[in-house]
Structure 1
Amino acid sequence: MRVSGRNVALVALGLLLVAGVAAWWTYNYEYVETERTLRPRGEASYNPLYALKLALQASGVDARSRQRLQLDEVPLGERDTVLVLSDPRTLSPADVDGLLDWVESGGHLLVRTPRLERGAATRTAALLDALRLRTLPKHECMPVARPPAAVNAKDTDGAGVPARLMFCGGTRFTMLAVEPLHAWGDLDSGYAYARLAYGEGTVDVLADFGFLTNGSLEQPTFAALARQLLQPGWKRGTVHLVYAADMPPLSRLLLEHAWMAWLPALLALVAWLWLRTQRFGPAVPPPEPARRALLEHVQASGEHLWRYGRASALYAAVREAFMARLRRRDPLAAALDGRAQAEAIAHRTGAPVADIERALQTPRPNDGADFRNRIARLLQLRQQL
């Protein structure tokens, strides 16, 4: 095989070009490390207190989390701690009585105030009524005179925000003839935090639990306050974290997370409907079903009679039709008989008398040609009358 110099030059030029691109890529390529925050998975995706549970377990505290209180299924110890993240108004009267009896025997309970309702005053909860607390229709970010005794006023979070602004947005409350062990707030602007003695136990009431949820404990102020809130039962019993996960409806989950599946399916459905639909607008009435012509029925009936030896009946029907017209057009000829009738018809139509006599006589049996000739002659004479 002979290789031309032109082909060799093209191959060499291609290899040179590939080598140049590879050298340029190697020289300009740079490894860069990037950090991307992934969406939480597993329990962290639905448990807002998952980070707090892990932090407590890492500190040697027996911490458990669940969605519901379930006092009948999970008995509480005398030195246990229960944190109820959900709205206290969702607690049943039996749960409220059970919690108060347990706190009175030495337990530690942490609850928050209900969210402010729009257009009306915030409805109180049975648990707060038993503690002689009243919510205030205030949720604005209010400066607090001094922080709780458990937290240093000089502590700030990672963003440099003072600790006294942590409870912004929560519903404040006031106390009726109750002397708290610790409190944060005043009578004018309301309290954001209070620790109350109830029997042998204590109850911590806060305006907001946002600093205890996932992603918030990274701030030093939030972590320090969480540690001080759990101090009464620290390592003395089990910490029960009741988060009551508020799962969004299925339609919202599909809209936010499954659009890559339902959007192509929706487009495919629309395309299929477009192909199946002839036009848009009012429904077109269905066309009338096709009907067979009358002559087809007549022909089918004649073939049936002929097949079963009823040719005489066909001939009689055609002859009767001819005679009926003859009676209407020439009653005198119709009243005659035999050759006289044939001559009268011949005089009117101009046809030969012999042909008329033959047409008026019954055809021979099983003679198709004779049958067709006489039928055709009668039809022709009928048209000539």
Structure 2
Amino acid sequence: MNPRLFWSLLLGTLLLLGVPLAILFMRTHERVTETVTLPPQGEARYNPLYVLGQALRADGIEVHARPRLDLQQMALGPQDTVVLLQDSSELPTPAARALLAWVDGGGHLLLRTPPPAEDDAGSTQGPLLDALGVDSLYQRSDCQPFHVQDDPGHVEFCKGRRFTLGFAAEARTERRWGSGHDLVFARLRHGQGRVSVLADMDFMRSEVESQAARMAAAKGQASDGLHDRSHRDLTRYLLDPNYGKGAMWLVYASRPPSLWVRLFYQGWPLWVPLLMALLAWLWARSQRFGSLLPSPVIERRSLLEHVRASGELLLRFGQGVRLYQAVHALFVHRLRLRAPLAAALEGAPREQAIAELLQWPRSRVASALTPPPPHDSSALRERIRLLLQMRSLL
């Protein structure tokens, strides 16, 4: 076939098939854009203040993120701000004193009360809150109303632990927010700096465990705390004293994973081959359940089995008369011991003597003493049964 003609036919066939398929595809399908919210990656997975740090960097502020408070590694300036998401009750007394000494030079510290516990009586507020003059902590289930113009029913501090201040702390209070008995926020003067005590910091976190946040995440919207305008306004208000004057230090209270967790999730390329090698070695060294060769035949020493096997062999090859002769010999031997006179007779007189001795009919005795036909197995069994019965009656 001419190559040019072949390619022309092939191109025409493709056009005839492709054009209808393309029209069918365009009429039965439509372009749809779907936005899928991916899980956080990198630092956003473990830093709950990551969004806050990114927002501050976008505003031109220097931001430093730390998993735990370490004053020796943190070069705090006199106009810096420390957002302490870490539980303040975990700080030892020397660290609390050093932190307050830095605040005394002009710094701004934001901290929260210890998170709610199952037993309020068994919890302590720690040396830092004691030094600030926090009197007592209260665990309540109600929220603090936060009046926003476009959200009249907005509330905050629903999961935090409220607090009260002592007389000395009341005198150093610049701003306060709460009910008549307890507070959710208080800004205290401490030397040249400020300390802001909050009931909780959920509005600053990158995730909020609220029903509204879960519904927003289900709709594909952002679910972080700073997504809400009221949360951004409240955060900006709390960061006000030193905002834009120094660096921001965000202590996000992240505990590093344990060694065993890191080995399990990150070291699997090493321990999986080692585990497979160990299992293979155990399988090679273990006892096998079965054998590739048949088990050796065990020698049988039972006399009854040998006698039974010999009888079956004789019957199989038509030698049943020999079995009858053996049983007959046993009967004659017993007859010689019990009735020697009858054993000395031959023929019909012996049959008559045995019948009178056993009180059997003479015909039955004669049938038992007559050898069976060579291939009549039923007659053989019957005569052997009679001989054994006659032997047992002697």
TM above 0.5: yes
Structure 1 56/211 Cα, relative in aligned 2: closer, same or farther at 3 Å?
A: same
Is the Cα–Cα contact under 8 Å of residues 135 and 174 in structure 1 kept in the other structure?
Answer: yes
Partner of 2:185: 193
Query: 1:123 deviation in Å?
Result: 1.6
Partner of 1:181: 174
Counterpart pick for 1:205 among 157, 177, 197: 197
> For each residue in 1:169-215, what CA deviation from the matched residue of structure 2 results, as whole angstroms up to 9, or x when unmatched?
11111111122211111243x21111111121110011111111122
Is the Cα–Cα contact under 8 Å of residues 124 and 134 in structure 1 kept in the other structure?
Answer: no
Match of 1:233, SS state, is coil
Return the TM-score normalized by structure 2: 0.56
Query: 1:120 deviation in Å?
Result: 4.1
Q: Distance in 2 between matches of 1:138 and 1:119?
A: 10
Match of 1:181, SS state, is strand
Partner of 1:319: none
Is the Cα–Cα contact under 8 Å of residues 61 and 238 in structure 1 kept in the other structure?
Answer: yes
Q: Distance in 2 between matches of 1:155 and 1:135?
A: 33
Runs of 4+ in 1 over 6 A off after TM superposition: 12-15, 250-255, 283-286
> For each residue in 1:321-380, what CA deviation from the matched residue of structure 2 results, as whole angstroms up to 9, or x when unmatched?
xxxxxxxxxxxxxxxxxxxxxxxxxxxxxxxxxxxxxxxxxxxxxxxxxxxxxxxxxxxx
Partner of 1:301: none
> Which amino acid is the alignment partner of residue 93 of structure 2?
P
Is the Cα–Cα contact under 8 Å of residues 106 and 191 in structure 2 kept in the other structure?
Answer: yes
Say what the alpha-carbon RMSD is for the aligned residues.
3.9
Is the Cα–Cα contact under 8 Å of residues 155 and 162 in structure 1 kept in the other structure?
Answer: no
Partner of 1:335: none
Query: 1:249 deviation in Å?
Result: 5.7
Partner of 1:4: none
Structure 1 33/249 Cα, relative in aligned 2: closer, same or farther at 3 Å?
A: farther
Query: 1:166 deviation in Å?
Result: 1.4
Is the Cα–Cα contact under 8 Å of residues 113 and 171 in structure 1 kept in the other structure?
Answer: yes
Is the Cα–Cα contact under 8 Å of residues 68 and 86 in structure 2 kept in the other structure?
Answer: no
Q: Distance in 2 between matches of 1:253 and 1:207?
A: 34
Match of 1:224, SS state, is helix
**Structure 1 alignment gaps of length 5 or more:** 2-11, 148-152, 278-282, 294-385
Return the TM-score normalized by structure 1: 0.57
Structure 1 226/13 Cα, relative in aligned 2: closer, same or farther at 3 Å?
A: same
**Structure 2 alignment gaps of length 5 or more:** 2-11, 207-223, 299-394
Partner of 1:94: 94
> Which amino acid is the alignment partner of residue 148 of structure 2?
K
Query: 1:243 deviation in Å?
Result: 1.2
Is the Cα–Cα contact under 8 Å of residues 144 and 156 in structure 2 kept in the other structure?
Answer: no
> For each residue in 1:222-269, what CA deviation from the matched residue of structure 2 results, as whole angstroms up to 9, or x when unmatched?
1111111111001111111111213566888999x99xx99xx9xxx8
Partner of 1:56: 56
Partner of 1:240: 249
Query: 1:95 deviation in Å?
Result: 1.3
Partner of 2:157: 167
Number of equivalenced pairs: 258
Q: Distance in 2 between matches of 1:252 and 1:16?
A: 61
Query: 1:132 deviation in Å?
Result: 1.3
> Which amino acid is the alignment partner of residue 136 of structure 1?
L
Query: 1:87 deviation in Å?
Result: 0.4
Is the Cα–Cα contact under 8 Å of residues 187 and 195 in structure 2 kept in the other structure?
Answer: yes
> Which amino acid is the alignment partner of residue 229 of structure 2?
P
> Which amino acid is the alignment partner of residue 221 of structure 1?
S
Superposition map of 1:126-141 within 5 A: 126-141=127-142
